[in-house]
Amino acid sequence: MANIGLALLGARPGNVGGGVLAAFEAAHDRYSAHVGRTLELRHILVRDASTPRAGVPAALLSTDFDAILADPEVHIVIEVMGGETPARDYIERALASGRHVVTANKEVMAKHGADLLATAAKHGVRLLYEASVGGGIPIISPLSRDLLANDITAVTAIINGTTNYMLTGMASGHVDYADALAEAQRLGYAEPDPTADVEGIDAAYKLAILCGLAFHVAVSPDDVARQGISSLAARDFRYADALGYAIKLLATARLLDGGLVASVQPTLIHRDEPLAKVDGVLNAIQIEGDLVGRVLFQGRGAGPGPTASAILADVLDVARDIVAGRQPTEAIQRRAVPVHAPGVHRSRYYLRVTVADQPGVLARISGILGDREISIASVIQFETDEDARTAELVITTHQATGSALDTALADIRALDTVTEIGNVLPMAG
């Protein structure tokens, strides 16, 4: 073939597609030199071809995906539309037609990745998705190749830049959730509807993808236990800091007793841990393997630039294979393992409890925790409301199962001397 033909699905200015297009045009000659063959952008699929797009040749614009599949000179399809529909269908049809596919679609890969990879293998093509997790952070390729000799024991990650920016602001600016969200939206880090980010849905998609690569298991995003960040208050960050901890939305997964435990939840991390120092919109992914120990990947996890970097790296990888005539290797088979309920996992916990400011309250709480074999590590009375005659206690525990804690919390809530259990967060590090 004279050229390697590309089709880009999605190119709205200011988003990932626009970033891919801008980067491709700026470095077209260099990319073609890397591959040893001219890369030719032949089609750009858009919703409305009549919308003006500065610098985009109108002749390349199309609203017809079938026309792209009908072009025999298209060898690589780049999907950056986002969302599950129609992206999943387009990816599957492109693979079945013998085209390689590069995607940044975390939702599609989290929900349907195993099936789509099987389709790619069946038709002798590649499906690459480095940009679906961590933006510009290289993690899919290292897990697929560089760390393959390791028995991976744990994945711990900060993989949503919006929430990490908000939590950094709450910690440093001593502001509450609503103010942190408003600032993130003003700067364009948070969407008008921030649900996917602040409720941990986005991070759960990414963690499901990482579980498939790290542990070679099939995991649905629905199997990932989730707790969002909206319950956090500015005082949680003050109290955590006084205890020597930061609060991060952590995505964690590990194999335990033949099954998998996976969760996304706000977690206290000791300030000496590297992940506690990952601030702003940065992402970080920590992998623990039997041969390498701990490895930390850190960088910008979102935005047109970092995501375009990962997408175009995958495009160049596939293009070099095409030029060299290399055939795709068989995908690693994923195994089915049970997904444990979060309650089986043991952790230390942080409890923020508002109680009546009177003698004997702590003894009753301690007795309930003790009955469930949960021992207290520390208790600090941080604030007292003299008018309401209440006090706020921060209790940290030694390791306990989540199920034991849930049972204890139900009994504590029933006490007539307990006004509110303000927050319950796991502690790591």
- Catalytic site residues? 206
- Complete DSSP assignment for 336-393: ---B--GGGSEEEEEEEEEEESSTTHHHHHHHHHHHTT--EEEEEEEEEETTTTEEEE
400 φ/ψ sector (left φ>0, alpha ψ -120 to 50, else beta) = beta
Pairing state between β 225-226 and 390-397:
unpaired
Nearest to 1 by CA among 76, 80, 95: 76
First vs last C-alpha separation in the chain: 55
SS3 content of the chain, % helix, strand, coil (to 5): 40, 30, 30
- Give me 177's structure tokens: 């959730």
**How far apart are alpha carbons 71 and 99 in whole angstroms?**
11
Three-state secondary-structure class, residue 258: coil
Q: Which two tokens stand for residue 202?
A: 């986005």
- Token readout for 179 is 């103010």
3-state secondary structure of 160: coil
Strand partners, 128: 102
- 121 burial level (CB within 10 Å; 0-12, 13-18, 19+): middle
